Amino acid sequence: MNFDIQEYSRIYITDNFWISINDTLIATWLIGAILIIFAIVARFKIKKFKDVPETRFQNVIEALVEAFDNMVTGVMTRKYSYFGAWFFGLIMFLMVSNISGIFGMRPPTADFATTFPIAFTTVILMQFMGIRHNMKKGEYVKEFFRPVFIFMPLNIVSDLSKSISLSLRLFGNMVGGLIVMGLIYGLFPFIGTIGIPGVLSLYFDIAVGALHAYIFVLLSMYFIMSKAPAQDQL
Amino acid sequence: MFSYLNFAVLSNDSWFLRIDGSLLGQMAIQWINVIFIVFILSWLLYKPVVGFLIARRERIANELAQAAADMKDAEEKRKHYQGKLEAIVMEKEEILAAARKLAGEKEAEIIQNANGEANAMIERAKKEIEREQEKAKDEMRTQMIQVSAMMAEQLLGKGMSDADKDKILDEAISELGDAVWKG
């Protein structure tokens, strides 16, 4: 049983630095292509949207976006809801990536090389929030010296560690689900893989996948909001 | 150092979690991939839908505000026309009252005129009756005179003078009295 990421090709940039063409990259491109095609089709249909929805597609898209917008507004307030543009794309990518296992792909999120950059983006956005919205009277800088100045290195590490904790949480859960499902499929002979593993797949691939995409995005929002001015925090 | 940019080789390597020189490159590629996908989804899907929802919300809010303004306007017009209607009703009442008053006066006048005319007619009738009575008296007197004269002529066997006839007639009439004529 092999849970490794399979590499197919390498593109060398230097002798010791190369880009790997592997399962994760191919799955990411595939998922990206599916999402982009869906977005293009949706874009054409959005132009035909009526004030009173007439199609099921409009209802679904409206419900999806409105529910997400309510979530962003609920966590980040209307003032910072512009972050929703980033998180909407992110949650869609994470959802589809996390449940891609049921289509026989190796989820891109089961690779640390995918989860860490996304989590690190959250840390960048935290600093963006602090610099843009919390720089009055140097509050953003002062936060690093609280409760006393010697805590400054710890505060910096605390911020940076969020990228590690977020990325490892998602990576660990996705790899865990991958291994559990791999073991379950390995337990049964081929004919037995049709029933019970399918039901378990609903939980490990779909429910856990959707849940961890949601958790990742929700935690990212809370981390970013922790750098907002105190009066704007809920 | 960067001389092998397009140098691709086939590989059959595999790993579970590898931390080496290639990890940074993979992270960079994945970061670009994710940002590109997120940007496209946001640009093509999220922003247009949110824009549509916001525009619709604003349209509905505007329509509600317009409806409220129209309602207020309609209420003001209703009050305006209600006032006019009440004024018209009052005016109607006044016209009717004036008409009733005028009609009452006319009625009284007509009745008064009618009464006057009736009284005049009664008066005229009474006078007519009196005239008729006088006329009847004269005729009766004439006939009685003639009858009395004939009777007297037959009794006395002679003719009477006109003075005698008048005397006898007056005596007879005075004996009969007014009640006899009226009866």
Query: In this complex, do A117 and B36 lie within 8 Å of one another by their Cβ atoms?
Result: no
* pLDDT digit string, tens, across residues A80-121: 989 999 999 999 999 999 988 888 888 999 999 999 999 999
Interface check for A88 against chain B (CB to CB < 8 A): the answer is yes
Give counts: helices (H), strands (E), chain B.
4, 2
Angle of helix A23-46 versus helix B47-156 axis, rounded to 10: 20
Write out chain B residues lying below 8 Å of A13, CB-based.
2, 4-5, 25
Q: Where are the domains of chain B?
A: 27-61
pLDDT at res. A20: 82
List the single residue in B28, B29, B49 with the smallest CB-CB distance to A61. Answer: B49
Q: Of A77 and B20, which is predicted with more confidence? A: A77
Residue A131 neighbours by CB distance under 10 Å: 12
Tell me the three-class secondary structure of B104-119, residue by residue. Answer: HHHHHHHHHHHHHHHH
Query: In this complex, do B21 and A16 lie within 8 Å of one another by their Cβ atoms?
Result: yes
Return the closest-CA partner of residue A83 out of B46, B153, B147: B46
Write out chain A residues lying below 8 Å of B5, CB-based.
13
- Determine the straight-line distance between the first and last CA of chain B, rounded to whole angstroms: 166
Question: Is the per-residue pLDDT at A195 higher than 80?
Answer: no
pTM for the complete prediction? 0.71
Mutate which of A1, A5, A48 to disrupt the B interface (most B C-beta within 10 Å)? A5
CA A80 remoteness from chain centre? 19
- Determine the straight-line distance between the first and last CA of chain A, rounded to whole angstroms: 48
Q: Both tokens of residue A160? A: 């940076």
Instruction: Outline where DSSP puts E strands in B14-166.
Output: 14-15
What is the average per-residue pLDDT within B88-106? 94
Cis peptide bond prior to A147, omega within 30° of 0? yes
Question: Is the per-residue pLDDT at A17 higher than 90?
Answer: no
3-state secondary structure of A228: coil
Window from A41-50, A88-97, B80-89, B115-124 with minimum mean pLDDT: A41-50
Query: In this complex, do A62 and B11 lie within 8 Å of one another by their Cβ atoms?
Result: no
Write out chain B residues lying below 8 Å of A66, CB-based.
53
Interatomic CA distance for residues A104 and A97, integer angstroms? 12
Q: How confident is the model at residue A50 (pLDDT cuts 50, 70, 90)?
A: confident
pLDDT at res. B140: 85
Interatomic CA distance for residues A40 and B106, integer angstroms? 91
Interface check for A51 against chain B (CB to CB < 8 A): the answer is yes
* pLDDT digit string, tens, across residues B120-178: 999 999 999 999 999 988 888 888 888 877 877 777 766 667 787 777 777 777 776 65
Query: In this complex, do A9 and B11 lie within 8 Å of one another by their Cβ atoms?
Result: yes
Residue A8 neighbours by CB distance under 10 Å: 14
Question: Is the per-residue pLDDT at A38 higher than 70?
Answer: yes
CA B80 remoteness from chain centre? 18
